[in-house]
Amino acid sequence: MTPAQRRLSAQLGHSFDEPGLFARALTHRSMGTDDNERLEFLGDAILAFLVAEHLFNTYPEAAEGKLTRLRSRVVRRESLAAAARKLGIGDALVLGTGELKTGGRERDSILAGAFEAIVGALYLDSDLVTCRDRVRTLLGDWFEAASMDDGSKDAKTRLQELLQSQGRPLPAYRIVETGGAAHCRSFTVCCRVEGIDEDMIGTGSSRRRAEQDAARRVMDVLHARDD
């Protein structure tokens, strides 16, 4: 494993039981053998499901058309390539000579495909629950950007307004853990809401994103009770 691949593994927050899966996810077809195209196929389907599931739960009143628009903004090539750049996937790619000479490490199509392949590899090496948590973290910025572009309110705002409408106290957020190096910080936040016995835990690469994640989980519990 190269230094860039070790850094990427740390950024992902997952140690692969089958390192060969991780290596294959980073191998472009220009290498000729054992490339990432099958993993890309699998990861594309898993991403579509997980993003759809997240949006379905986050926007319980949204119609199909709005959910489809939001999903397309998160999973489009440009968004996945940007997420790949933030992770440093380009530096960890294994490319053929031709792609190296023509800037393959920065090409959107290659980066987005590698991101999908990594999701596929992560799913095969762990399970859907782990994959769901990592996708929420890795695409957190793009979930937020999609909701803001659509004029939608974020989870913390929606939770606050819901509790106010019911005459209940506002939620209390508290940081319970921080970790990671300076370039890849992680935050764990708990959200306490009156009437819910268990504090909801959220994680993210910033305090704000962790609080948003915790608020979304509280909303999921409240909506499940209503159902």
Residue of 40, 44, 211, 213 with catalytic role? 44
Burial of 183 per CB tally in 10 Å (0-12, 13-18, 19+): exposed
CA pair distance 188, 33, nearest whole angstrom = 41
Residue of 35, 40, 99, 116 with catalytic role? 116
CA pair distance 196, 177, nearest whole angstrom = 21
Which ranges of the chain does DSSP label H, i.e. alpha helix?
3-12, 19-25, 37-58, 64-75, 77-87, 89-92, 97-101, 108-125, 128-138, 140-149, 155-165, 207-226
Is there a catalytic annotation at residue 37? no
Phi/psi of residue 26, nearest 5 degrees? -100, 5
Provide the token pair at 106: 């920065």
Specify the length of the chain in residues. Answer: 227
Tell me the residue type at 1: M
Is there a catalytic annotation at residue 116? yes
Tell me the residue type at 59: Y
CA distances from 129 to 125, 167, 183 (A): 12, 34, 25
**195 DSSP assignment:** T
- Residues with catalytic roles: 44, 116
